[in-house]
């Protein structure tokens, strides 16, 4: 019998489930986890093409260059997941690594070939990005919309497919009712989802834009935005203002966070203030935790 990924003790201590029975409170397993029994192939990078169903559209050039530097030094540690398509391969998961590998000048890349139809590919790409928290709110909403529209699913069915509640999916889809300009503010982080949900309480695009303008100008938090929208619903409009970006995070902290995110291949949050703080590294199943532990040199035996 194969040894569980985290050994016989650690998986149980951390709530793992090597027996195969799903824990009702556990996060869904990453759909693209690599089975050690799967065959890893090396193919020419030009044989691999991007996925037309990829929900993620925005790839930071700086982030890709940093990943490319890491690939030049260490290579691609985790194989890309693909499906056969004619004489080529189409990505299911790993587009960032594929893009960075091109920047790094790699001629060949490691892949694992899986059988998957269009629906499965979209589901896998969407779930991978959601679990890695790589999608901005609008990309997430568009992913749900594509899944529902392309395969004639109900919201409940789409929610089950991606391991989310129907409420989460419904709230995400509501964001697509915002004006394109406001959707862009969500894409680049100038507005949060909390802000957007409150703004959607205003019925006209004009009022929504005016509210967003005031939020950005005055750097309002969600509670203050609720008060603003409540006043506007009573007919009290805020004075027009010029769009301006709210204060951004310390550039050094953001840079460190990005570097760690690339190093660990998962969501990393660094909180720092006057020499104190915390570091949050996300993982999504036992294999993912084992991978992170290996990176930092911690043995699980």
Distance, in Å, from the CA atom of 248 to the CA atom of 42, rounded to the nearest integer, reads 42
pLDDT (tens, 9 = 90+) of the chain, 301 residues, equals: 443 444 333 333 333 343 333 333 333 334 445 555 578 889 899 999 887 766 666 666 777 888 888 888 888 888 888 888 888 898 888 888 888 898 999 989 998 898 878 777 777 776 666 655 567 888 888 888 888 887 788 999 888 877 788 998 999 999 999 999 999 999 888 899 999 999 999 989 999 999 999 998 888 898 899 999 998 988 876 644 443 444 455 778 877 888 888 788 887 888 887 778 888 888 777 777 888 888 888 877 6
Contact present, 36 and 24 (Cβ < 8 Å) = no
Q: What is the pLDDT of residue 199?
A: 94
Query: Which candidate in 38, 61, 73, 95 is catalytic?
Result: 95
Query: Is 95 an active-site residue?
Result: yes
Question: Six-digit token pair at 127?
Answer: 């779930």
Q: Which domains does the chain have, with CATH numbers?
A: 38-116 (3.90.1530.30), 136-175 (no CATH), 180-233 (no CATH), 251-295 (no CATH)
Contact present, 41 and 113 (Cβ < 8 Å) = yes
Q: Which residues pair with 272 in a beta bridge?
A: 277
Contact present, 183 and 176 (Cβ < 8 Å) = yes
């Amino acid at each position: 019998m194969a040894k569980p990924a985290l050994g016989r003790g650690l998986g149980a201590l951390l709530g793992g489930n090597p027996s195969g029975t799903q824990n009702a409170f556990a996060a869904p397993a990453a759909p693209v986890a690599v089975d050690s029994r799967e065959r890893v192939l090396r193919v020419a990078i030009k044989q691999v093409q991007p996925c037309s169903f990829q929900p993620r559209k925005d790839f930071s050039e700086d982030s890709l260059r940093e990943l490319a530097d890491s690939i030049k030094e260490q290579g691609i540690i985790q194989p890309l997941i693909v499906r056969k398509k004619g004489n080529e391969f189409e990505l299911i998961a790993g587009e960032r690594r594929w893009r960075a590998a091109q920047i790094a000048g790699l001629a060949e890349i490691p892949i694992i070939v899986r059988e998957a139809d269009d629906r499965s590919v979209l589901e896998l790409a969407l779930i991978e990005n959601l679990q890695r928290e790589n999608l901005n709110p609008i990309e997430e909403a568009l992913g749900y919309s594509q899944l529902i529209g392309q395969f004639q699913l109900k919201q409940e069915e789409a929610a089950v497919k991606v391991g989310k509640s129907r409420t989460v999916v419904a709230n995400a889809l509501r964001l697509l009712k915002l004006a394109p300009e406001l959707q862009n503010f969500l894409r680049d982080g100038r507005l949060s989802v909390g802000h957007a949900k409150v703004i959607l309480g205003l019925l006209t695009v004009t009022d929504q834009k005016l509210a967003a303008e005031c939020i950005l100008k005055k750097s309002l938090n969600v509670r203050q935005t609720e008060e603003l929208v409540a006043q506007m619903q009573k007919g009290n409009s805020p004075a027009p203002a010029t769009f301006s970006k709210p204060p951004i995070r310390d550039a050094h902290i953001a840079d460190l966070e990005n570097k760690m995110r690339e190093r660990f291949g998962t969501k990393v949050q660094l909180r720092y203030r006057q020499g104190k703080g915390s570091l949050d590294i996300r993982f999504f199943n036992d294999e993912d935790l084992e991978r992170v532990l290996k990176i930092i040199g911690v043995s699980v035996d």
